[in-house]
Structure 1
Amino acid sequence: MSTEDRFKKSVVAVLAKRAANRCANPECGAVTSGPANESNGSVNVGEAAHIYGAHPGSARYDEKMASSDRGAITNAIWLCGNCHKRIDNDPSRYPPGLLFEWQREHENRISEQVGKTAAEVRLRYEKRHLEEFGRLSYLAERLIIEKGEYWEYLLTAEMLRFEMAPTIQRWDALKRGLYTKPIQRIDRDDSFSWLMDKSQEILLIVAAFSNITNFEIGRAWGESGVAGSDVDIVSVCRLYGEACSNTLLWEESVRFTRVDDDFSEIRDLYIGVAGDVIEQTAKIPKFLTDMVAPRPTSGTYELELTIGLPDGWEDRVDAAFKRAERAFLLDISS
């Protein structure tokens, strides 16, 4: 386990206080600290438990999660030693979603006891605010409510992972030949225009990715020193997810289409191009979490992504189009 995966002492201390030193398991609720036998001593039986496991082989481990996220308070729940052991021994019965619910409900109960009226108002606000977003991951919900340090970047990373995951999984399955679709055949007379349309479509897709990456994400984060907008961050990440989905649809349309032999060289040049775009964009969440892992106070960070077409691709396609056009015209004249 790396040092980033572990909870820092400061995280453990804050977590225990937020839980009022009580186990967050609603079926337990045991007090986790109290007096020791010595008159000036105390005993603690509470533990900061990982919701998503801290290392490979541990309960609920998610390999796609960054180390800094595993060691963050957003991935922590306060439990007594017995309940901690129970959830780790039976992770299928105690999945991450359930533990996030435990954590949220427990803190809500504690808040009500600390200041009932204020807690009720806060809960109403949180519920109404989360309703604005629709379906979110548990971690994204917690980041939106907590808004801790670097929350804009962590929320962006989590939302991008969440929104892009289905497309990335399906792209991996497509590369491995794990599914197919009905073959579409394009008539000879229509092959040229169909392939031209596909060229224009992939250029528009790349332009959309570039615009979102270079402008919209930064705009959602807000100006330096000004808090970002959680609504805008979620919205722009969903646009990213939609762009990824459309990119995969483009890749599928190319792979499962047959054109006239004179145009097959062009079609073959298209295969894999969109998948490479998806793989490049999938690097962004890790970059963001790695960026804030050292808890920087200032600095400039730059991620170089080639969200575009392979070098020389457009020239190769243009040359293939010219060869196909010559062959097409020769067939017509003969």
Structure 2
Amino acid sequence: MARDNFSQNLTRILAERVGYLCSNPRCRCFTVGPNENRDKSTRIGEAAHITAASPGGPRYDNDLTREQRADIGNGIWLCSSCADLIDKDFDNYPTPLLKKWKSDAELEMYQKIKGSKDVGVVSVKGRPFLDADLRYNSSGRRSQGYSNKNPVEKDKNGNPVMIIGFATKPIIHWKLN
């Protein structure tokens, strides 16, 4: 069976929607820049499939049609390193997580071009919350773990997976000394 690849136009749109930055919130590197040759640019980004483009690939979804596999909804813009990582270590990068990365990266870019001061504001189930990070000058702090107020989705086995991304910075409980 043939791969259901993205069109050249769709690849360009995926890249532009995130400002040519990798959608992995821990990376966010630039994926386009100058080349030694002044008439060229260098691109290290890829339009990666969230669910595989062909059977046997990472996160392949047999329920999707060929058109759905090649649709923008199944694509995410990543640097070549992150694209390689999510396909080689696919158990740690489930479909819901990649969709969250894509959504957060697009939201971040939308807020930046709109000039919003709310970039990075987090809400849980529609309720905003304040994450205070307090530190005394003469004392320290110790992490007591993640709060159960962090957003959670189910992985393919039904196990809860905490979703941490750009717009969902984790709530961490701290113990002040």
TM range (shorter): 0.5 to 0.7
- Structure 1's unaligned 5+ residue stretches are 129-334
Is 1:15–1:78's contact at 8 Å kept on the other side of the alignment?
yes
Q: Percent identity?
A: 36
Partner of 2:13: 14
- What aligned pairs does 1:137-148 form with structure 2 within 5 A after superposition? none
Amino acid in structure 1 at the alignment position of 2:70: G
Aligned to 1:27: 26
SS of 1:92's partner is helix
Whole-Å separation in 1 of the counterparts to 2:2 and 2:71: 13
**Deviation (angstroms), 1:112:** 1.4
Post-superposition Cα deviations, 1:89-117, rounded to whole Å, max 9, x if no partner, equal 01110000000000000111111111134
Corresponding letter in the other structure for 1:53: A
Kindly indicate whether the alpha-carbon contact (under 8 Å) linking 1:111 and 1:119 is maintained by their aligned counterparts in 2: no
In the other structure, the counterpart of 1:88 is 87
Q: Distance in 1 between matches of 2:47 and 2:118?
A: 24
Determine the structure 2 residue equivalent to 1:70. 69
Q: Residues of 2 paired with 1:103 and 1:22: CA distance?
A: 11
CA distance in 1, matches of 2:71, 2:104: 19
Q: 1:292 corresponds to which residue?
A: none
- For the Cα contact (< 8 Å) 1:23–1:78, is it kept in 2? yes
Shift of 1:118: 9.8
Q: Is the CA contact (8 Å cut-off) linking 1:108 and 1:119 kept in structure 2? A: no
Per-residue deviation, residues 127-168 of structure 1 (Å, max 9, x unmatched): 79xxxxxxxxxxxxxxxxxxxxxxxxxxxxxxxxxxxxxxxx
In structure 2, stretches of 5+ residues that fail to align are 128-177
- Structure with greater helix share of residues: 1
**Residue 2 of structure 1 contacts residue 67 of structure 1 at CA under 8 Å; is this kept in 2?**
no
Give 1:64 deviation, angstroms. Answer: 1.4
Q: Specify the SS of the correspondent of 1:62.
A: coil
Partner residue of 1:36?
35
1:50 maps onto 2:55 in alignment: no
Within-5 A mapping of 1:105-124: 105-117=104-116
- The residue number in structure 1 matching 2:142 is none
Measure how far apart 1:55 and its partner are.
Answer: 0.6
Matched AA of 1:116: G
Counterpart CA distance in 2 for 1:78 and 1:25 is 9
Partner of 2:2: 2
Deviations 1:157-183 (A, max 9, x none): xxxxxxxxxxxxxxxxxxxxxxxxxxx
Deviation of 1:82 (Å): 0.3
TM-score by length of 2: 0.65
Instruction: Determine if contact 1:22/1:32 at 8 Å carries over to the other structure.
Output: yes
1 CA distance for matches of 2:70 and 2:90? 19
Aligned to 1:195: none
Cα deviation, residue 43, structure 1? 0.5
How many residues matched? 124
1:1-334 equivalence runs, <5 A: 1-2=1-2, 5-117=4-116
Between the aligned partners of 1:61 and 1:78, the Cα distance in structure 2 is 18
CA distance in 1, matches of 2:116, 2:79: 29
Q: Larger relative contact order (C-alpha < 8 A, sep ≥ 6)?
A: 2
Instruction: Spell out, residue by residue over 1:275-314, the C-alpha distance to the aligned partner (whole angstroms, 9 max, x if none).
Output: xxxxxxxxxxxxxxxxxxxxxxxxxxxxxxxxxxxxxxxx
**Residues 51 and 100, structure 1, Cα contact 8 Å, conserved in 2:** yes
Higher strand share: 2
| RMSD across aligned positions (CA) | 2.4
The Cα shift of 1:119 comes to 8.1
